Structure 1
Amino acid sequence: MKRFAPSTWFRCAGIAWLAVAGVATAAPATAPWSLLPQPARLSPAPSGAMDIADGGVILVHGADIQQVQSIAERFAQRVADTNGLHLRVVTTDAAHPAITFDVDAKADIADDAGYRITVNEGGILVTARTPRGAFYGSVTAWQLLTPAGWTRGAPVKVAYGVIEDHPRFAWRALLLDSGRHYQSVAEIKQLIDWMSANKLNVLLWHLTEDQGWRLEIPKYPELTTIGACRKAVGLDAELTGSAEQPYCGHYSEADAREIVRYAAERYVDVVPEIDLPGHSQAAIAAYPWLGVTGKRPAVWTDWGVSPWLLNPNEKTLQFVDDVLDEVMQLFPSRYISIGGDEADKQQWNASPEVQAQMRKLGLANMDQLQGWFMSQVAAHLVEHGRTPVGWDDEIAEGATLPASQVVMSWHGDHDERVALAALKQGHDVVMTPQESLYFDHFQSDLPDEWQGPSPAATLRQAYDTVVIPKGASAADAKRIIGVQAGLWAEQMPTFAHDQHAVFPRIAALAELGWSPASARHWNDFLQRMPTELARYRALGIGYADSAFAPVFHVAAAAKGAFRIELSNQVDFGKIRYTTDGSKPGDQSTPYAKPFTLPGNTTLRAATFAPDGFELAAPRTQVLDASTLLSRDSSALATCSKQPGSRLEGARPAQGPKPVYSVDIGNMCWLWPRAALNGVTHVELTVERLTWRFGDEAKDAVVHRKTGAAGEFEIHADTCTGPLLARLPLDSAMQATGQMRLDAKVAMPSGDGVRNLCVFATGDPREGQWALARMVFSK
């Protein structure tokens, strides 16, 4: 995957009134409709509304009648599935239709993908120039029928007014990595459905990786018979059922065609990605002559950047042409992605053959050789009427990319300097900064946050993504064709993980890609999110509630009591709580300001929207003698001071899988100002994780072992300060899952408030220890 480098809607009536009154405002007034992404222009009527009830008629007429009828029928099905209203689609004139879809090529609509919705006493009229516009109008119409607080099966009241809408960008994309972990055809279809409900229109399908080649290529059958399977290392064994059962999966030609067909019906373009010349270890495992060493590697079981690159010679280029010819047969998209990212050139540098090739071509370095290779690949696509797409890595290194290539810019640091460089070279650019739009990154520091690489990419960060880089000229800005989020699947082993990672951040992505800049307001977006989350819930999407989840801030109070402060990430919604262990409801005590509670109390809190919709499920904080004497890993700092990644542990016999905050390669944590007066004992809960972190091995930190198996050590003040406890790992070395270690604590004299350093000795590359929890007792 890509690596993190440290380093309004326009409410006419309301605005017109404000202009007359001489009042300024930074954000729009409340809308009568809750729509997302926010349309380009909304004109609500001063009054009036119509009812849509069960049995209502949908009339389809105008051009492209069969296509529009299919759109209307899928719209009716979505309404039935989510709202329980059953609407009937007809193509002949009907008296008093509730909803009408009218496609007219001469309609006064701003864009082929645009539409107008008029709501008045005659019903809801969706007007578009094309079926695509009618489709996007149907998405908005569905949202009109799922308003805030809707009741399933009950008539829906829709306010009068006019909605005029079209997209800001042509490329509104989600990247799906099927190379690291495989998703079924049914799961991909479901994801496409949900993307289209957010008006996204590109699925960038990452099909080849070091860890698996997923697309059938009949001319090269071993790409899938060999390249689509890897040894089930680490938690992959839980997916296959056994470490002896390899992790396999690929898509047949029929699968690919079916996904393309299904996506096209929902106006989603499937853009395949065949990553070159790096991320190719699985291909070289299938056909060793594609590499430069002559050896056959295994399909990679690690994550990170593999050094196995394709040999940049004519034989390899013929292979690539053959593969792309098959890809072009399967995928009608104008765009084909050829990757070009994270090419570790150590094997090229060590190869006399590659060195000779570089000199023969008159090139100065290996970056230029990669540029030559990618230019040959791009030229083949251009000859066949396609547009190559690739990553910005070579531009980040100061090199150039093929002039015809669309650049996906993921290096978002330094004020988007790489995107600006790509624009100055004349490329069309898709903005996909890893800092905010890599949805595999975890979303919060909550103890129950799901796994993902660091640092966090929050809902607010996604929403605030810079789409037009600072310093871009007006001409540069016109070459930014869209935005894209990345779902890199190293730590996304199941479709449940995919859903949790994508939703609700996809709502922020949708508004970035669709809504005009003037229509985007964070506070207004938050006001619309409860209704959007209710739609997700009705669709059966397992979304993350991290942005709204209660966070407990606990401190000592007088006489053994606890001072409690509650908050959430976005400072939105009403947090309500109970103190008897019962589940909070929308009538439970609302949080207003910090309060105190006695010990031996079970505090539970949840977040609710103004209409009572549960924004975040209840979280629990037990208040007892161990509360201030314990920390889980999410509440500890890393010794490197870098944010820890969240890694998943083995599935326990009961309960959810544990997730740990871990600084990969450095098994060391800090607890500042721990209050340890009178403690005599400590207990650690730990788990040993399989090392599969590839090139991160070079930065591993090794602490000297005292015993043969190693140990956890706890030191005061610094990591070389007084030793408080040593907990041998002999009993844990062969264990699967979590283990508990305990030891006596030798507190040094002096103040009981000490900075703590806890670390595991030994080499993390032989097994990365994770710390679940540490608990002191008196």
Structure 2
Amino acid sequence: MNKKGFFFILLLITGSFPVISQGTSGLFLIPYPQELKTSAGYFSHPSPAICFSEVTPIEKDRLLDVLYRIWPDSILTEEYKKNASVHIQKIKEKTGEKVGSYALDITPDLILIKADNDEGLYYGVQTLLQIARSTSPAKLPAIHIKDIPRFAYRGMHLDVSRHFFDKEFIKKQLDVMASYKLNRFHWHLTDGAGWRIHIGKYPLLTEVAAWRPQHTWKEWWNSDRHYCRQDTPGAYGGFYTSQDIREIVQYAADRFITVIPEIEMPGHSEEVTAVYPELSCSGEPYKNGEFCAGNEDTFRFLETVLDEVIELFPSKYIHIGGDEANKTTWESCPKCQKRMHDNGLKNVDELQSYFIHRISDYLESKGRKLLGWDEILDGGLAPDATVMSWRGTQGGLKAVNMGHNVIMTPGEYCYFDAYQDDPILEPEAIGGYLPLEKVYSYNPVPDSLTADKSQRILGVQANVWTEYMPTYSHAEYMIYPRLLALSEIAWTDTPQKSWERFLPAVNRQLSWLHDQGINAHPISKSVEMHQTVDTAAHEIKISFTCNRIPVEIRYTLDGILPSPTSTLYTGPITVKDSAHIAVAQFGNGKQFTEPQNFTVYYHKAIGSKVTYNTPYSQHYNAGGKTALTDGYTGGRSYGDGHWQGFTGDMDVILDLGKSTPIHNITARFMQQTGPWIWFPHTVEIYASEDGEKFSLLKRIENTTPRDTEGVLFHNFGITGNYKARYLRYVARAVPKKDGYMFVDEIFVR
């Protein structure tokens, strides 16, 4: 058994937290420090005296706000050597090469926090607060910590266009970010679903473009996508006044968080062109979502908006979006074509580059820098622009190799709008599957990068897109605890990271999040099945894991729902032929989760040769030509490595090796409308003895509507009495550009 499997079984048997290496001594710190050493003894002072050295009054108040949460009855003293047992000291010598570094020492007689910068002192007391929550404020273990942040940029993005979140909600998230040493809040203020920042010279942006008749983004998206005036009965929306923004920016700054505003351009601007249609290529409302790049009024508008944004936000960076612009309107727009001709631009990609360069130059003239999604690379990048890489990591690496700074935020690891648990058990999400462990596994700096190029990766960011998050509690449910994994990616060097150490810590941190009124996901509402196919023994070993700690996994094999007295899972289950397994999570005699059902077959086609008459997707190959007969069934995500994707029809022939009696032939498909994944509209199954002449056994029509919501699974197959050596399985795809079919296995029994 591997180490990970042993770790989870230990948890299941003992129902308790294991002793983790790296000297944590029961501490559950997130993010984990770069250096931590424990020693004998405890600091046992229930109401210690606190002393500050070389700390400004403003900073003293900030630190006391945290320290009073540990010792509400502590007192202040100016006489460190005589009375104080907690000493916070600003020093001249460096505590680390990066801002935010600090040293923390706890001995039986003294707690000493040192840093050469205010931010480091703040993070030091945040770590002390986490230690007190892990143990007891009256009995803190003796410990030495030296801590340095891995990245300077440690961020979270929040989309407030699709759904509006008020300033109190924003402040609440800033408090949590500060607790886990995150220091950048990327505020997605404008997009097609609503404009959220007051601009004095353009009142229609907040009188109309900030409001819509439908409450949810989904309802609005499926309607005519029009806006309405603020005083329209039932109008949904909102915006931030200049005073709101100043208040939030200051609130964040008090917690060493920089707020980076995003004003979308040239695309994702439907709300602007609806109320100021003269800024679009057509000049008509509700026709174009992109600014006209050939119109000087466009740049006058954007410069005016940016002037007001710059006045409100002291951030060095201003994010301008730059993603997913539909540039086809530029190809036929006389103004855009003239702009291209006058500037010697060969295509619309170069026109977008002209647009980005011009905005970048304007920001530079105001002492700011441009930040944008990786599409700003198209057509050439402005010299001082920084790239935020979201379409995987390639855009970021390309920018690094071009000499640009980069913030990594690939959708595969950093998009918190994806499902984080079994989609069947979760509220509707946009699609994809991003569990906590996958977030934690991300390393923003590939090993292939040289040391000097690695320095151009400034940090990492979680992105919270809110299309399917209409309420405050739902947004928090999607953000947490995945944001805690992101905080450790951003702060902790790779050698100090450990999933086995992090998992008990994040389970323990859940109770604190709930105490703060955060509606965090319970980490695991399901049990995950793992398979090991043994073709020599003709068997499949099944194992189960879950990330809730402590927990018991109990299961049945007889069709009865599991209960607190069902068999306790302690090790792999061997399946020789077939098994129908029902599992659920339990603890203290209570059932935590709904039962899940898994059906496992060691079927007749395992190991059979497959001939592909149509190609599978190279991006979703699931292992290539053995994928459909390897015995491994897919899980909750089409990206888990066991689902094979097809962008057109699937037409394959299986060679069973000899003429074989067959009772059932079936294949399992997935449908998920958000990412354009659909069941086949027709399936045809054929049989042959010679591989040349095939007889049609059955044609099956799909009866599930294409617009059915959720993540769906369906077996398309036949049952009867057949005999054949060769089987041909044809799944006709729904004709749709960029659409997919996904299949995990062809079962023959």
Q: Structure 1 length as normaliser, TM-score?
A: 0.71
2:368 partner amino acid: R
How many residue pairs were aligned? Answer: 671
Match of 1:591 in 2: 570
Which structure 2 residues correspond to residues 520-535 of structure 1 after superposition, within 5 A? 520-535=497-512
Q: Which amino acid aligns with 2:256?
A: Y
Q: CA RMSD in A?
A: 5.5
Which of 67, 72, 75 is 1:87 aligned to?
72
Following superposition of structure 1 onto structure 2, how do residues 205-284 of structure 1 map, counting pairs within 5 Å?
205-232=187-214, 236-237=218-219, 245-284=234-273
Shift of 1:540: 3.6
**Whole-Å Cα distance in 2 between the matches of residues 233 and 760 of structure 1?**
35
Task: List alignment gaps of at least 5 residues for structure 2.
Answer: 1-19, 226-232, 533-539, 604-614, 622-635, 655-660, 688-694, 743-749
Q: Check whether the contact 1:213–1:224 (CA below 8 A) recurs between aligned residues.
A: yes
CA positional deviation for 1:517:
3.3
Conservation of the 8 A alpha-carbon contact between 2:330 and 2:337: yes
How many Å separate the matches in 1 of 2:355 and 2:709?
46
Shift in alpha-carbon separation, 1:495–1:370, aligned structure 2, 3 A: same
Find the counterpart in structure 2 of residue 40 from structure 1. Answer: 34
Residue from 301, 311, 318 that aligns with 2:300 = 318
The verdict on how the C-alpha distance between 1:567 and 1:474 changes in structure 2, with shifts beyond 3 A counting, is: same
Spell out, residue by residue over 1:200-245, the C-alpha distance to the aligned partner (whole angstroms, 9 max, x if none). Answer: 00011111112221111111011122222345398745999x9994
> What residue is the counterpart of 1:496 in the other structure?
473
2-side partners of 1:107 and 1:144: how far apart? 26
Aligned equivalents of 2:221, 2:291: Cα separation in 1: 29
Deviation at 1:193, TM superposition (A): 1.3
Question: Which AA in structure 1 matches 2:31?
Answer: P
Q: Secondary structure at the match of 1:181?
A: coil
Aligned to 1:88, the other structure's residue is in SS state coil
Q: Which residue of structure 2 lines up, in the alignment, with residue 83 of structure 1?
A: none
Change (3 A) 1:724 1:58: farther
For 1:280, give the aligned amino acid. S
Instruction: Select which of 4, 26, 31 maps to 2:24.
Output: 31
User: Once the two structures are superposed, what CA deviation does each residue of 1:489-534 show, in whole Å capped at 9, x if it has no partner?
Assistant: 2233333332233222222221221123332233333353333334
| Shift in Å, 1:594 | 2.1
Separation in 2 of the partners of 1:250 and 1:51?
49
Secondary structure of the structure 2 residue equivalent to 1:618: coil
Quote the Cα distance in structure 2 between the aligned partners of 1:182 and 1:437.
21
Aligned in 2, Cα 1:759/1:442: closer, same or farther, shift over 3 Å? Answer: farther
> In the TM superposition, what is the alpha-carbon distance from 1:566 to its structure 2 partner?
4.4
| Percent identity for Structure 1 against Structure 2 | 27
**Residues 424 and 710, structure 2, Cα contact 8 Å, conserved in 1:** no
Partner SS for 1:402: coil
Deviations 1:632-690 (A, max 9, x none): xxxxxxx987889xxxxxxxxxxxxxx999999999999x99xx9999xx9x9x99x9x
1:621 alignment partner, one of 562, 581, 596: 596
**Pairing of 1:362-377 with structure 2 (within 5 A):** 362-377=344-359
Aligned in 2, Cα 1:569/1:343: closer, same or farther, shift over 3 Å? farther
Give the 3 Å change call, closer, same or farther, for CA 357–569 of structure 1 in structure 2: farther
Q: SS of the counterpart of 1:204?
A: strand
Change (3 A) 1:410 1:349: same
More divergent stretch after superposition (288-297 vs 485-494): 485-494
Go from structure 1 to structure 2 and tell me whether the alpha carbon gap of 1:199 and 1:623 turns closer, same or farther (over 3 Å shift).
closer
Aligned positions of 1:70-469 closer than 5 A: 70-77=62-69, 79=70, 87-93=72-78, 100-106=86-92, 109-110=95-96, 111-147=98-134, 157-232=139-214, 236-237=218-219, 245-297=234-286, 308-395=290-377, 397=378, 399-413=379-393, 416=394, 418-445=395-422, 447-469=424-446
Report the secondary structure of 2:309's partner residue. helix
Give CA deviations for 1:108-150 in whole Å, capped at 9, x if unaligned.
5225422221111224322233332221112101110121xx5
* Separation of aligned partners in 2, 1:623 and 1:268: 46
Instruction: Tell me the amino acid that sits aligned with residue 143 of structure 1.
Output: Q
- SS, match of residue 139 in structure 2: strand
- Structure 1 residues 251, 660: closer, same or farther in 2, change over 3 A? farther
- TM-score, normalized by length of structure 2? 0.73
Instruction: Note the 1:715-726 alignment, pairs <5 A.
Output: 716=685, 722-723=697-698
Alignment partner, residue 42 of structure 2: 49
Q: Secondary structure at the match of 2:488?
A: helix
Distance 1:74 1:571 in 2: 29
Q: CA deviation at 1:725?
A: 6.2
Residues of 1 paired with 2:552 and 2:373: CA distance? 43
Output the CA distance in 1 between the equivalents of 2:328 and 2:412: 27
Counterpart amino acid of 1:409? S
> C-alpha separation between the residues in 2 aligned to 1:340 and 1:605?
45
CA distance in 1, matches of 2:348, 2:701: 49
Amino acid corresponding to residue 487 of structure 2 in structure 1? A
Contact 1:275 1:340 in 2 (8 A): yes
Amino acid at match of 1:36: I
**Is the alpha carbon distance of 1:714 and 1:527 closer, same or farther for their aligned partners in structure 2, counting shifts above 3 Å?**
same
| Structure 1 position 178, deviation (Å) | 1.3
The change in CA–CA distance for 1:736 and 1:279 in structure 2 (over 3 A counts) is closer
